[in-house]
Amino acid sequence: MKKRIEKVGWHVLVIFALLSIALFVIEVSTQKSVKARYYEEKIKAGQIFHEAMKTVKKERERVRLPIDNINDPNETGIIGQQFTVITFQRSDLSASLTSTNPNFSAIFVEYFKKLKLKSGDMVAVGVDGTFPAVNLALYSALRELEIKPVIITTISSAMWGANNPELTWLDMEHVNYQQGIFAFKSMSAAFGGEDDMGRGFSPEARILLKNAAARNDVPLLLADSLSMNIKKRSDFYFGQGKIKAFINIGKSVANIGVNHVTPITGLIKERPKNINENSIIGQMLDRKIPVINIIDVNKIATRYGLPIAPTPIPSLGKGKLFNEKRFSQTFALIFTLIIIFVLFLVIKYDLEYYLLKKKPQEIK
């Protein structure tokens, strides 16, 4: 073949571009839906979540707490009231409804796999009553992946959470522990509220919180200042062994700081430079321990393709957490080799000479 001497002509470039586009269209058309990574673990975690939710609903029926089917349209039994004596701050009802999706447990499986946590690894957990369904989703993933949690609970709750004094998060947790759904539960608990010591609650409310800890056999973690509460929590966590990650759910002041200075929702691996406030999250990050911080449920749901406040509750195993689009690797390799080969020909040889060469009868 005649070797190239001049620049590549536009005719060849157009043909090469059309060929590339054609191969790209063919490759796109080969994509198919396949199971996402860790599909089986995510499904099993969701099944555990289903059982835990049913257990909570049965317990609610046992203590004769009616379900508000306007604010809890799916009648899950895990949505609380707008305000009770153990409610410490405002919260969004839509976020509580979003959290009842069983597919939420797959998010924690995804996080744990991303952090390369293995069976037997120990994690520190700090939860409150604000998002009991998210707590159950977390516990379900911990059980499925056989990760060992060290749990400290803030008993009080924000609006729409586990804020009924007769059915606090400790009660929900304990009944699941009794039924064998989970083999672990809170090892210590605090009142929450201002300074994590029950400030802002009435004396009656503090008695109710204390009673919740007593009937569920969870020792109270009490101190006379926020800094001392944080220290007690920190000492407790690190006294249990090597912590591989910290998971916070809710807005416990001891965990996230009095000014909520760790607003990042999701996975945090480095402490923001402008944050100096003392908190459990800050201490964990200072020790290079990654943090999973769940304070904005709707934001997390949107990030992972879960619907906001769905009615009815979505089926288990739906969405991009479980299925993903993949292209044919074989075709991609073949098409890449074709393009490389054609590009070699274009650069090496004068293809225009053959493409534009006139036939003998065309010459006058």
Give the mean model confidence (pLDDT) for residues 317-345.
Answer: 80
What tens digit of pLDDT does each residue of 175-209 get? Answer: 999 999 999 999 999 999 988 989 999 999 999 99
pLDDT of residue 31: 72
Q: How confident is the model at residue 292 (pLDDT cuts 50, 70, 90)?
A: very high
**Separation between Cα atoms, residue 261 and residue 130, nearest integer Å:** 19
Task: Judge if pTM exceeds 0.85.
Answer: no
What tens digit of pLDDT does each residue of 142-182 get? Answer: 999 999 999 999 999 999 999 999 999 999 999 999 999 99
| Angle in degrees, 0-180, between the axes of helices 104-114 and 132-145, rounded to the nearest 10 | 50
Residues 6 or more apart in contact with residue 114 via CB below 8 angstroms = 267
Give the mean model confidence (pLDDT) for residues 219-241.
Answer: 95
Whether the pLDDT of residue 72 is over 90: the answer is yes
What tens digit of pLDDT does each residue of 78-126 get? Answer: 999 999 999 998 899 999 999 999 999 999 999 999 999 999 999 999 9
